[in-house]
Amino acid sequence: MIQAAKPDPEADALFEIVRARYGDRLTPAQLDELRKIVAGQLEAARALRAVALANADEPMQPFAPYRNEP
């Protein structure tokens, strides 16, 4: 007997963003696949969220204030 997938309201809500924005361009088969991809992305996000960081853990990105000077 095939078990139904566990309900995941967050995955459903995220998928609805995709459907709302692009649904008119997509076939049912493509929408089905996008639902799976969104679920995979959420799984990755949950793995990221599971790691605790300290307040001081900053992104490693160079940003410098800009001023155009000759």
- Sketch the per residue contact string, 10 through 49, with other proteins: x for CB under 8 A, - otherwise: ----xx-xx--xx--xx---x--xx--xx-xxx-xx-xxx
Could you say whether residue 8 binds other proteins (CB under 8 A)?
A: no
Taking residue 25's Cβ as centre, other Cβ atoms within 10 Å add up to 7
CA distance 47 to 38: 14
Which DSSP helix (H) or strand (E) runs through 40? Answer: helix 28-49
CB 7, min distance to other proteins, A: 17
CA angle 64, 66, 70 (to 5 degrees): 130
- Interface residues with other proteins (CB under 8 A) are 14-15, 17-18, 21-22, 25-26, 30, 33-34, 37-38, 40-42, 44-45, 47-51, 53, 57-62
